[in-house]
Amino acid sequence: MAQKEMISRFSLIIKKLRKHPASFAEIADYLDFESNLQGYEFNISKRTFDRDRNAIRSLFNIDIVWDKQRKVYFLDMEDQPEVNERILEAFDTFNALNITDRLSDYIHFENRKSMGTENLYGLLHAIKNRVQVKFQYQKFWENKPALKSVEPFALKEFRNRWYLVGKDIKINELRIYALDRLTDLAIMKSKFIYPSDFSVNAYFKNCFGIIAHDGQSPEEVVLSFTPDQGKYIKSLPLHHSQQILVDNKNDFRIRLHLVVTFDFVMEILSYGPEVKVIEPQTLKKEIQRKLLESLSHYVAGIRGI
């Protein structure tokens, strides 16, 4: 069978099991139905299905497990549910982009530069094996890139960008590097001792975005959104600590527990008149100051000052 048909069959098997567990007979019936629908030969024997399970595990790190009691197969998502869900999302995207020869006729891609994902594998290898890395790093406010030697601790995603969290060996301090500004990655042989007291989840627990808290204590933040905007905030929470206080036709109000950083202030400003800061007063004053500052720049631009 052609490789494209084989990958499509893998996709169908995963699609079937994502909905609910199924026996081999149910999977075979589904593949037969899709064969007639799509005009391909997806029908397989039990022996071929077992080979497919191994191939799916090897290629996509998706494990299809047999439940002896219920006599069904299911996708094992319990160990790392967030990671596995992202793998399935990537698999969906891969298959969606693979179904047609003329993608430009049906899909409108965002015009942007690379997110630096080409370095994800190398950095994960370095993190797992506790080896140092070197790379050229271009800061936005500097004219030339600088060579960095880093002990890599973790990777973090924010706003569809990836970041490396690690210790800058030269200054012996923790730093965060955007992967889209990182080039010439080199995996070194020098080993390092991973700090026993570091956890990327704990490090960013009370943060919004990728700006570290720098010793600041988290605060209780109360925000009031318009009901329409509240629907979006409810479906995609601003922070894992989000609690809904009010949800009616007049107001959508939430409480957050986090460190107020520049990233968070800019996030609130992005909602414009759709949000009001209730607490704390310090954040309310900072938002007002930023708004007045933006307004003065706008007026100055109109007057040509």
Scan for tokens 């527990």, then name that residue.
Answer: 257
Q: List phi, psi (to 5°) of 275.
A: -135, 150
pLDDT at 279 over 70: yes
CATH annotation of 117-200: 2.30.30.520
The chain-wide mean pLDDT, for the chain, equals 85
Which has the minimum average pLDDT: 195-204, 263-272, 284-293?
A: 284-293
Q: Report pLDDT for 101.
A: 55
* Three-class HEC string of 118-159: HHHHHHHHHHHHCEEEEEEECCCCCCCCEEEEEEEEEEEEEC
Closest C-alpha among 82, 124, 77, 85 to residue 240 = 82
pLDDT in tens, 248-272: 999 999 999 998 888 888 889 889 8
Looking at residues 279-293, what average pLDDT do you find? 80
Mark residue 91 as left, alpha or beta (left: phi above 0; alpha: psi -120 to 50; beta: remaining).
alpha
Please compute, for residue 295, the number of CA atoms within 13 A of its CA located in the half-sphere on the CB side. 8
Q: Looking at residue 196, what DSSP letter applies?
A: T
Assigned CATH class of 219-303: alpha beta
Residue 256 CB-density burial (10 A; 0-12 exposed, 13-18 middle, 19+ buried): buried
> What are 18-31's pLDDT values in tens digits?
888 999 999 999 99
Is 294 a residue whose pLDDT tops 70?
Answer: no
User: Is the fold of 117-200 the same as that of 219-303?
Assistant: no
pTM: 0.70
Q: Where in the chain are the domains?
A: 3-97, 117-200, 219-303
- Binning the chain into helix, strand and coil, the percentages to the nearest 5 are 45, 25, 30
**Segment 37-64 mean pLDDT:** 86
- 3-97 folds as Arc Repressor Mutant, subunit A (1.10.10)
Tell me the average pLDDT across 154-164.
89
Task: Please tell me the least confidently modeled range out of 23-32, 112-121, 201-210, 295-304.
Answer: 295-304
Tell me how many degrees the CA angle 166-170-172 measures, rounded to the nearest 5: 55
CA 86, CA 81: separation in Å to the nearest integer? Answer: 9
Kindly indicate the confidence band of residue 285, based on its pLDDT and cuts at 50, 70 and 90.
confident
